[in-house]
Amino acid sequence: MNTSILGRVTSITAALSCFAMLGMAASAWHLDLLDSYPKADQVLTESPDTVRFWFNQEPDIPLAGASIDGPSGRIKMGKAQETDDPKSFKVEVLEKLESGTYTVVWRAAGSDGHVIRGRFTFQLQPTAPNNTAGL
């Protein structure tokens, strides 16, 4: 009886180990966002000219893109472009941003063709001019 239980436990443990290894291997096939500019929750003092994304593998540029929504609505953006880093892409911001909170929504796909999406916010708080010169 003990041998039977031990055999079952061993089989279950081996099966769970295989599933765990398959899960780790599958995650290596998918594109993962490693970094961005602006970063999530970053506070900028100047309007960005571009948003940029870095991944664990090369993104498929025709499937990549980003949008920004802010206090006045959707911001005009360019198309995804390659950068000097093959594991990155950028999107040009076509208008100057005003103070406020912005949401970046991005999408990209890697070599497996699986499209992933994400979102994060950042803030723009331009520094006020120094008006203490005459004091």
Is a pLDDT exceeding 70 seen at residue 133? no
Structural domain boundaries, residue 12 = 1-30
CATH number where 77 lies? 2.60.40.1220
Is a pLDDT exceeding 90 seen at residue 94? yes
Whether residue 105 lies inside any domain: the answer is yes
Whether residue 129 lies inside any domain: the answer is no
**Contact assessment for residue 104 and residue 68, using Cβ atoms and an 8 Å cutoff:** yes
For the entire predicted model, the pTM comes to 0.74
**Contact assessment for residue 124 and residue 42, using Cβ atoms and an 8 Å cutoff:** no
Whether residue 88 lies inside any domain: the answer is yes
Whether residue 110 lies inside any domain: the answer is yes
Do 26 and 36 sit in the same domain of this protein?
Answer: no
| Digit-coded pLDDT (tens) for 11-57 | 565 554 544 444 444 445 789 999 999 999 999 999 999 999 999 99
Amino acid making up residue 126: P
